[in-house]
Structure 1
């Protein structure tokens, strides 16, 4: 009788341990799933705004190109080159702010060092990719001989103030109320994409792709890839990825 009683207790204990283990795995998987779901939801939530931003940027460029038809090519390229720099630097400002905000919103235990690293390195990579490298490659893919101009290499003294102020702006904004941050994050991402779209277009027309409008459809498709993907990764995917890698406080 005693042996049977002990056996029953062991069975119940093992069953409880198994149930607890299964519940732990279920909760862990659910948590991971919610993280993946959050990334996908963020991407889908921002994607339509990104498409409209690219379209709006093409309207703006068309109006500027139409009004500048009387100017010679050299003068037009010089003006577009100036506009590229202005929007490229502003893009860096918005990208660094958005990266810091997203990381701060989702990180369990954010540290200042990690926030600074993510808030500077991620925008540096993706701003060059979306504003310069992908438009440059897009022009070549469409048969245009493009010029390569990387501001992080040639004009670091102009880039750094925008990058550092963007990070500082994100650090200040992260202390605001969460509801206000959600609204600002959405508006900031739309503005970020619009500015990046203009920077990419102005780069293309000022560095070789002067006659862009006969291939407007292809330009739009390339810009969607060149802008939506890097900007969404910079604003959403990368900071959320590192935020979810943060260990829980014990």
Structure 2
């Protein structure tokens, strides 16, 4: 049985590691949000329809869920030296991917749509609207993360795909025209939608539940 000092030391080590990971992911997340704004400008210029944005969202969001599940499960397995039950691993992988991907791709973008008074705000919850697609893919990602743990490449793809999934959720709410001054706050919402939730899913969430032997 571990003493309070050991638990306190382990908690401090986790906080230091989390802060380090968040700092390291700032530049890449900023780049992702910037490319998202460029894509949005092209979407507006090309007059892409809301229906196309909807299809793009439901292509990218499920991919995001798979990558998130892979990285969350891999991160937990990598840092959890003590044995864990399969049920616990599945719960951490599922909540860390579905829950946080929904926050990143749907809830935060929807908040941005409402706060920026976009013409057609609407929230799209993937694991409910398309439960038959999103939920099985989450379990597929958990299985991959458990059997073949990997974190680096899926996380990079995770950040970019999450950026574009959040972007297409927002572009569904756009009208025929948009004031260019809105690009700055949309950039901020894209950044927040990706940085905190994605790092939370891939890094913070699994580390909080990991423990040493």
Partners of 1:173 and 1:45 in 2: CA distance: 24
Q: CA deviation at 1:64?
A: 4.0
* Contact kept in structure 2, 1:89 and 1:162, CA below 8 Å: yes
The TM-score normalised by the length of structure 1 is 0.76
- Which residue of the partner structure matches residue 152 of structure 1? 127
Distance 1:143 1:38, change over 3 A: same
* Contact kept in structure 1, 2:66 and 2:138, CA below 8 Å: yes
* Contact kept in structure 1, 2:108 and 2:193, CA below 8 Å: yes
- Which residue of the partner structure matches residue 46 of structure 1? 25
- Which residue of the partner structure matches residue 63 of structure 2? 90
- Which residue of the partner structure matches residue 18 of structure 1? none
2:39 equivalent to 1:60: yes
Aligned partner of 1:221 among 188, 193, 207:
188
* Contact kept in structure 1, 2:80 and 2:212, CA below 8 Å: no
Q: CA deviation at 1:199?
A: 0.5
Q: CA deviation at 1:29?
A: 4.7
Larger radius of gyration: 1
* Contact kept in structure 2, 1:88 and 1:199, CA below 8 Å: yes
Q: Where does the alignment leave 5 or more consecutive residues of structure 2 unmatched?
A: none
Q: CA deviation at 1:93?
A: 0.6
2:161 equivalent to 1:189: no
For the aligned residue pairs, the C-alpha RMSD in angstroms reads 2.0
Aligned partner of 1:141 among 115, 132, 150:
115
- Which residue of the partner structure matches residue 240 of structure 1? 207
* Contact kept in structure 2, 1:104 and 1:110, CA below 8 Å: no
- Which residue of the partner structure matches residue 161 of structure 1? 136
| CA offsets 1:129-158 (integer angstroms, 9 cap, x no match) | 111111111011011241222221121001
Distance 1:114 1:25, change over 3 A: closer
Partners of 2:125 and 2:148 in 1: CA distance: 29
| CA offsets 1:87-133 (integer angstroms, 9 cap, x no match) | 01111011101100110111121422211110011211111111111
Partners of 2:37 and 2:163 in 1: CA distance: 8
Aligned length: 207
* Contact kept in structure 1, 2:25 and 2:195, CA below 8 Å: no
Q: CA deviation at 1:205?
A: 1.0
* Contact kept in structure 2, 1:120 and 1:163, CA below 8 Å: yes
- Residue 157 of structure 1 aligns to a residue in which SS? helix
Partners of 1:104 and 1:84 in 2: CA distance: 30
Distance 1:213 1:57, change over 3 A: farther
* Contact kept in structure 1, 2:67 and 2:158, CA below 8 Å: yes
| CA offsets 1:180-220 (integer angstroms, 9 cap, x no match) | x4xxx2332221111011001101111x2234561111100
